[in-house]
Amino acid sequence: MGTGWTKDSMPDCSGKTVVITGANSGIGLEAAIAMAEKNATLVLAVRNMDKGQSALAKIKAARPEVQAELMKLDLADLESVRAFATACIQKYPSLDVLINNAGIMNTPYRLTKDGFESQFGSNHLGHFALTGLLLPRLMSTPASRVVTLSSIAAHNGRIDFNNLDGAKGYSSWKFYGQSKLANMLFARELNNKLAEHGLNTISVACHPGFANTNLMSFNSGKRANPFIRLVTNLVSQSAYMGALPTLYSAVSPNIKGGEYIGPDGRGGRKGYPTNVPIIDRLYDAEVSHRLWDVSEKLTGVTFSFEQQ
């Protein structure tokens, strides 16, 4: 499924509104450019507005007539998440695709404004809250989708419910893997709940393989050191190729909901979008239900699947 699929395979997206978190660089920016070229209306949800302006200029250079707007969103701050969601719902009467793309990786130990370990807080809890707050708009939009980015790092991850804040010991890579596994479990569990309520909104997880993006700077804002850049260039694929699973998940008519889309090459590191069956092994209903309950309690965001 999907082998050889590129952005040239995308259908026209005229009339569709797409929110992309972290759209100022890397995979988010590549996805935004592709969506703009297919005539989508874009909401670029970014933490750094200056970088967002630069990204917007690149998008408009690719598609001058694009309808695109920058909106401030800091996923490490639930107040910011709530403000963004409120503004988005007030301004946009429909929401066809929410792409939960933004993320941080392998960061030193620190807490978010709300006291969460930063990777779990930004990568999972911020997106969990954002999705729940935007869900009414998604459910009122026919055939809408939620696309949540996971990572190869999730494949060996584990949710440690007894140490979610890292107070009992912290490993940056371990906590990154935990956050990305949470993304995957959330995407599958959300799709299960949408289906149980007979809704036509679907949820999909995806991963970019080993893509050469600014995550390699480990959220420092600086270029990665020369050795890391050399190794990365040898084994990784471009941000454009890394964005293909996201785009496929967002627009392909073959997506039914609940899938996990990633590159089709060896080890899932490179290649074209395909269905990755490992999600069926990694998804654990008991863990996912507990993660959902914990996430609602920590964020204060309760999902309602009743259409208004």
Question: Domains in the chain and their CATH numbers?
Answer: 7-299 (3.40.50.720)
CA angle 245–247–253, rounded 5-degree value: 100
Structural contact between residues 245 and 218, judged by C-beta atoms closer than 8 angstroms: no
Structural contact between residues 245 and 34, judged by C-beta atoms closer than 8 angstroms: no
**Residues 195, 199: Cα–Cα separation, whole Å:** 6
Half-sphere exposure at residue 217, Cβ-oriented, CA atoms within 13 angstroms: 9
Render pLDDT for 152-183 as a digit per residue (tens, 0 to 9). 999 999 999 999 999 999 999 999 999 999 99
Q: Give start and end residues of each alpha helix (H) in the chain.
A: 26-37, 49-62, 78-91, 118-119, 126-139, 172-196, 226-235, 239-251, 278-282, 285-299
**pLDDT over 70 at 3, yes or no:** no
**Residues 45, 70: Cα–Cα separation, whole Å:** 6
Burial 187-196, CB ≥16 within 10 A → b, else e: bbbbbbebbe
Render pLDDT for 114-130 as a digit per residue (tens, 0 to 9). 999 999 999 999 999 99
**Residues 8, 83: Cα–Cα separation, whole Å:** 35
Catalytic residues: 176
Q: Beta-carbon neighbour count of residue 208 at 10 Å? A: 32
What are the structure tokens assigned to 36, written together?
């703009």
Structural contact between residues 83 and 60, judged by C-beta atoms closer than 8 angstroms: no
Written as one string, the DSSP assignment of 48-74 is -HHHHHHHHHHHHHH-TT-EEEEEE--
The whole-number average pLDDT for the span 192-221 is 81
* % of the chain surpassing 90 pLDDT: 86
Render pLDDT for 221-260 as a digit per residue (tens, 0 to 9). 455 555 454 455 556 788 899 999 999 999 999 999 999 9
What is the pTM (predicted TM-score) of this model?
0.93
Give the per-residue pLDDT at 267: 83
